[in-house]
Amino acid sequence: MQYIAVPSYSSWQRDSDVTFAIRKNDIVLDRIDNLVEHYWSSEALSKRLIFLCHIFVTLDYWLKMYKTSCRMEKGREPAVRALHSCAAEQLCAVFGCSIAELPHELELMWGRELSASGVHVDIVARPAGDISRAEAAKHRVWFKGGKAYMLQSRLELAESNFESFVLSMSRELFLAMYSRASETVQCSGASSRSRTCSASSRGRRSTTSCG
- Nearest-CA neighbor of 147 among 136, 139, 156, 138? 156
Residues 180, 149, 141, 189: is their CA dihedral positive or negative? positive
91 and 122 assigned to the same domain: no
Range of the domain at 13: 9-108
- Nearest-CA neighbor of 141 among 149, 153, 133? 149
CB of 197 closer than 8 Å to CB of 174: yes
178 and 198 assigned to the same domain: yes
Q: What is the chain's mean pLDDT, rounded? A: 77
- Nearest-CA neighbor of 150 among 163, 135, 169? 135
Question: Nearest-5° angle of CA 54, CA 21, CA 73?
Answer: 55
101 and 150 assigned to the same domain: no
- What pLDDT does 39 receive? 96
- What pLDDT does 86 receive? 96
Rounded to whole angstroms, the Cα distance separating 17 from 33 reads 11
- DSSP category for residue 8: P
| Rounded average pLDDT over 118-127 | 69
96 and 182 assigned to the same domain: no
Question: Nearest-5° angle of CA 170, CA 67, CA 6?
Answer: 55
CB of 12 closer than 8 Å to CB of 79: yes
CB of 211 closer than 8 Å to CB of 168: yes
39 and 98 assigned to the same domain: yes
Rounded to whole angstroms, the Cα distance separating 52 from 63 reads 16
| Residue 156 dihedral angles phi and psi, to the nearest 5° | -125, 160
- Residue 167: beta bridge partners? 173
- Nearest-CA neighbor of 189 among 210, 207, 206? 210
Number of domains present in the structure of the chain:
2
- What pLDDT does 177 receive? 67
Please say if the pLDDT value at position 114 is more than 50. yes
- What pLDDT does 153 receive? 58
Q: Which tens digit of pLDDT belongs to each residue from 51-96?
A: 999 999 999 999 988 998 888 999 999 999 999 999 999 999 999 9
Give the CB-side neighbour count of residue 66, counting CA atoms within 13 A: 19
Residues 90, 93, 99, 103: is their CA dihedral positive or negative? negative
pTM: 0.63
From the number of C-beta atoms within 10 Å of its C-beta (0-12, 13-18, 19+), residue 155 rates as exposed
Q: Which tens digit of pLDDT belongs to each residue from 133-144?
A: 787 787 888 777
Asked whether residue 84 is domain-assigned, the answer is yes
Asked whether residue 157 is domain-assigned, the answer is yes
Give the CB-side neighbour count of residue 172, counting CA atoms within 13 A: 27
Asked whether residue 3 is domain-assigned, the answer is no
Q: Label residue 183 by pLDDT band (50, 70, 90).
A: very low
Last residue of a domain, one of 63, 88, 108: 108
